Amino acid sequence: MPLLAAERLRAAGLRPAIVDVDVHHGNGTQGIFYERDDVLTASIHADPDRFYPFFWGHAQERGEGRGLGCNLNLPLARGTDDEGFLKALGTALERVSMHGADVLVVALGLDASVDDPFQGLAVTQDGFARIGAALAGHGLPVLFVQEGGYLSDSLGINLTRVLDGYQTTV
Ligand SMILES: [Zn+2]
């Protein structure tokens, strides 16, 4: 779980940020860190107006109290492709830099795939490689926490592509 990883990193004196690339909004993670400013949380996901979890994940949810501004939601229209996803990832990584994070926890769901049965977003296999490359290119150490992704023939390939993209860039 990304939140356990983040807590362990905090306990070790680091300043982690969580970037969630799963097609579903990271509502559990958002809830836990919503009033905290020590862990930035960013989630890229299919717009919850028409997608699970429906009640959370909107852009105006920015954190509360001390945590105001430390939660970033980047909802994308259903069917958004590689370009749109990577643009949002760039926005998330910029915010990670602004926050002064020194380690990145990536909630690596693979269900933003164009082949995923839920059909939320449309990231291709090349897109997953580019996600890995963008994470590596950002420069912080990355801890991948693998999450969901529903049965499709490309699930394993997409995981391999993210890690390949990461490895060839780092
Ligand atoms: Zn998911």
Interval between CA 146 and ligand 1 midpoint (Å): 11
Interval between CA 21 and ligand 1 midpoint (Å): 9
Two structure tokens written together for 163: 């890690």
- Residue bearing the bigger pLDDT, 157 or 170: 157
Interval between CA 132 and ligand 1 midpoint (Å): 18
Interval between CA 109 and ligand 1 midpoint (Å): 6
Encode pLDDT of 45-92 as tens digits: 999 998 999 999 999 999 999 999 999 999 999 999 999 999 999 999
How far is the C-alpha of 86 from the C-alpha of 101, rounded, in Å?
20
Predicted local distance difference test score (pLDDT) of residue 149: 65
Two structure tokens written together for 170: 């780092």
Domain definitions of the chain by residue range:
2-169
Interval between CA 12 and ligand 1 midpoint (Å): 29
Encode pLDDT of 112-160 as tens digits: 999 998 899 999 999 999 999 999 999 999 999 998 667 788 889 999 9
Interval between CA 113 and ligand 1 midpoint (Å): 10
Interval between CA 165 and ligand 1 midpoint (Å): 21
Q: What confidence category does residue 106 fall into, taking pLDDT thresholds of 50, 70 and 90?
A: very high
Interval between CA 50 and ligand 1 midpoint (Å): 14
CA distances from 86 to 58, 126, 165 (A): 19, 11, 13
How far is the C-alpha of 106 from the C-alpha of 147, rounded, in Å?
10
CATH topology of domain 2-169: Arginase; Chain A (3.40.800)
pTM of the model: 0.95
